[in-house]
Structure formats: C-alpha cells, structure tokens
Chain A
C-alpha cells in the first residue's frame, strides 16, 4: 500500500509522466507476450521445414511462414526473449563495469582517472561495429550468451563517464564534507554517502546501455555474425535478407520483426525520457 500511495503522490506531483508510463507499458507488454506466448504456439514450428513455406498471413498461420517453412508467429515469440536477453545481459555487465571504472576514476583521480577517461573517450568515438566485427568474427562457435559478452565489452564507456562526473560533483557536496569531518573513512564515504546518490544515474545508464546493446546485437546479426542456430529477431531479418524477401514481396517475413524491434526501442527511449523527469524533478518546471 505504501508503494501505491507513493506512486499516487509522485503522479500528482508530475514526476511520473505519461511518457514514463507509456514506455514502461510497451516494455511490459513485450515481456508479457514472451512469457505467455509459448503456451499458444508449438515450438516445433520454429524449425526449418515444419510448415508449408511462403504462406501469407492466414487463419492457420497468423503471421505467415518464411521460405524455409517456419511459422513467423512462433519465430517471433521465441526470438523476442532471446534478443531481449542479450540486451539485458550486456546491459548488466556493461553498467557493472562502467560503475566500477567510474567509481575508480572519480574517487582515485590522478593517473588512474586520466587513463580510464582517455580510454573511455577514445572507445566512445569509434564505430562500435568495426571492433565488434573483429571480435565476433574470431569466435569459433557463436551462441547468444557469447554474443551478449562480445557486445558488453564495448558497453561500459558511457556509464563510466556519467558515474565519474557524478562522483566528482557529489564529492564536493556539504554532506560528504560533514561525513569526512565525522571521521568516516574514504571507503565508507564512497559506499555510504556517494553510491546511494548515484542510483538514478545507474538506472538511466542501464536503460541506455540495454538499448545500444540490442542495437549492436541486431547489427552484428544482420551481418551474419550472430548465433545463427538460435532464434532471434536479428537472425530472422538476416534470413529474410538472404532470401531477398523484400524484393520478392514477402512483407510478413521482415515486417513483424521490424515492428517488434521498433517497439522495444521506442519503449526504452520513452522510459529513459520519462525517467529523466522522475529522477530530476527540476525538469518539470522548465518545460
């Protein structure tokens, strides 16, 4: 009940905006479809040759079938959670690494700070796909989990920058000064005074990192570097490209995965805008 009343108060104060509700709802609907979807379809239909190939959407195949004889609806229901999973794993690892490096750079300063900052800035400016291609291309047997790790290796820089900048400003606040005078050790100050105040930035970085990780995963999959034996949204698009589905007019093959991908990104995008306003109520007065 306390959570509910807290929610109502935040809502009337304008902290929980329509944007945040819409964004989170879109993501929840996608997650819900991935959870209950498998009860309504036969997983066998996601295999090559399970159903008649090249059927347009009909009562029997709601979203049609591809030219290898796979049911599109089944592919979508099993592919979406795989794609989301890769984004979430990469997001957790990326934000974890970013938090670690950011705290390290922000609290130690000096040469450690300089090295982390220069490396993060340089890697941020590179086209991620170029480095990921080299890594992914040298992996012997690709799976969705390895894919998540590959993408995570380049997902930490943005969080590092955000956290570092925040640590630097929070360190100068008066309550940290009070804690220091009270005799708290540097370690205590870092984890009891600074880290709790980083929470909004960690959540915001997480939403952003998941988004860019999914973008990178789908990009690598479109190049044919994905885990081709597994069902994901990016692989579905890769196969449709391989069969020239666009030119042959099979819109039901590439259309639905594009719509789901767009919805995932829209959900993440709206959530991050809405969360900005939630975490930083000053924005409400300005706009």
Chain B
C-alpha cells in the first residue's frame, strides 16, 4: 500500500469519525437547545396524547434525571452521553418498558440494511447499464424511448410510488402481500419457507425503491457517458481499431462509472431518507417503522436511538463506498 493510498483511507476514516461525532452532538444538543426540558416535554406530550404506556413515566423520569444529572453543567452531561453510547446504553422504551432501545434497534437493523443494500445495488447496476446504453451512439430507438419514463419515475418521491404499487399488486391484483416483513403467523426459522416468505414480502418495497432510483442513476450515467465519449482516449482507442464493445465497456463504462460512484456517496443520504418512508408505508419491520411508531407514541429515547443508528449506518456505508473507489480508479492507488 502506497503512502497516497494510506493517506486517502485515513482521510476517509476521519470523515467517518466526523459524521458520527456530528450526529451524536446534534442528537444531544438540539433537544437541549430548544426551550424546555426534553424529557419533560416528551412526557407532557405522551400524557396529553393518551398513548398507551406500560410504565409509570414519573419513575423513568426520576431515574433519568438522577442518571444523567440534568442539573449538572452541559459539558458533564455531554461526556456522560458519550460514556453511555460506548456502553451501548441508549435508554429504555417508554412504550415497551423494560425493553431497551438497543434491543429494538438490533431487531430492526438487519431488515433495513438488507432492504436498502439490495435495492441500492440493483438500482445502481441496472441504472448505470441503462444509462451507458443511452449515452452510446449505437443504441437503438427502443431503449431511447425510455428516457421520458425514467424522468417521470425520478421525479416521483419513491414512497408515493410505494402507495401506487400496493394498490396495484396487493389490492387490485392481490398477488403480493401489502405490508409486513413476513406472515404474522410464521415463526422465524432458517428454512426455505421462511426465506421465501421474507422475499415475497420484500419484493414490493424493493421494487418501490428500485423504480424510484433507477432513473437517477440512468440519467446521471448517460450524461457522464456522453462527456467520456468526447475524450481523446476514446478517439485513440477507436483509431487503434479496437472493437466497439471493447471501447464501450473498457474505455467508456469504466471511466463514466467513477463519477457514478462519487454520486453514490452523495445520494445515499437521500436514498436512505426515502427508504425510511417506504418502510413506513409498507409497515416493514425495519428502522423506518420503528421510528414511525416511536414518533406516534412519543417514545423519546427510541426516536433518538433510531436517528443515531440511521446516521451511523449511513456513515459506515459511505466508508465502504470509499474503500471500493480505489479498486475502480487505479490513479488513486498509485
């Protein structure tokens, strides 16, 4: 590993730490900067809404005050907050006492990561191939006719697409389940029945995210492809007599893909925001639905926990994208 590559990776890792630091600080500061006591506000709302609660909130609140020392200086509270994070202690759920926020997050995380990762991978791959074909002069009219459709798909927020998909596939045609992660009667075991059931339930949310994203990747790849094909090295490759397919894949796609991967790093945040809402629409058992239920029930610590989890998960995903980048672009490795 060269010194440049080490410097690059170190810089990216620094960015990861910075994002996590900002996330934790925002999570800590915003409720405290706004007027009123955050826990007091949360409990007042909880009682006003008459939401179902299985715990005497006063007890929780008193233990919370004692534990976090809300009367202590801000900096002490902040350090305590970090200490508890390292112990994976994110507090307890008001709604399902004494379940801890950490357990709730651990149950929801695999569903979200699975959905988001698979959907993004499919959308990115299909979109990039489609976009490369659209930017290639030799492509037929049939594929070009897709462009207006892709533009419309890109402009609809994909959680609204999800509503349309549920109506078509689950209400009118009744071929796929409208909600949930698997059948409510099923006991999760590692067998084919469970796997198929999970896949069947994941199909519509997956389709919503893929359809909503594929246009973005295709249109981005198309404009990259157009500008890459104008470069001198393409003319040179053609002049050498290389076959069009070799020029297309090895000289065109490979170079155009670099900025697609950069775009991936920038777009992941909004894809994740959209995926959270898709989960809510489908009542999919991931972080999004957990967040929604927590907001509805004013479950303060769960909201904070999910928000933190979303940001950290995203930061890690970004770091992985950054690790892939040197594999694609040999210029960074050297």
Give residues in A with beta carbon < 8 Å to B: 118, 121-131, 133-135, 137-140, 212, 215-216, 218-219, 222-225, 237, 241, 246-247, 249, 251, 254, 258, 261-262, 265-266, 268-270, 286-287
Contacts and interface: CB of A to CB of B under 8 A. Distances in A.
B295 A237 contact: no
B178 A247 contact: yes
Interface in B165-215: 166-167, 170-171, 178
Max chain B C-beta neighbours (<10 A), residue from A118, A125, A287:
A125
A128 to B, nearest CB: 6
Interface string B293-319: 001100000011011001100110010
Nearest to B38: A138
Given A134-B307, A212-B270, 9 more contacts: A124-B266, A127-B311, A134-B304, A223-B277, A246-B167, A246-B171, A249-B167, A286-B227, A286-B230
Interface in B156-170: 156-157, 159-160, 163-164, 166-167, 170
Contact of B41 (A124, A126, A130, A138): A138
B26 interface: yes
A223 B307 contact: no
Contacts of B291: 133, 223
Contacts of B163: 237, 241, 246, 254, 258
Interface stretch (B16-24, B79-87, B237-245): B16-24
B157 A246 contact: no
B307 A262 contact: no
A121 B30 CA distance: 20
Contacts of A140: 36, 41
B34 interface: yes
A219 B34 contact: no
Contact of A126 (B166, B295, B314): B314
B1 interface: no
Contacts of A218: 157
A262 B155 contact: yes
B269 A125 contact: yes
Given A134-B304, A139-B34, A269-B154, A219 B273 contact: yes
7 nearest A-B pairs in the assembled complex, by CB-CB distance: A265-B155, A129-B273, A127-B272, A266-B155, A130-B307, A130-B310, A262-B156
Contact of B303 (A118, A133, A249): A133
B175 to A, nearest CB: 15
25 contacts: A124-B266, A125-B266, A125-B268, A126-B19, A126-B23, A126-B311, A126-B314, A128-B270, A129-B273, A130-B306, A134-B31, A137-B303, A138-B30, A215-B270, A219-B157, A219-B159, A219-B273, A219-B277, A246-B163, A246-B167, A247-B166, A262-B156, A265-B155, A270-B151, A286-B226
A261 B157 contact: yes
B281 A241 contact: yes
A237 B157 CA distance: 13
Contacts of B159: 219, 222
A3 B156 CA distance: 34
A258 B160 contact: yes
Contact of B160 (A134, A224, A262): A262
Interface in B267-288: 268-270, 272-274, 276-277, 280-281
B102 interface: no
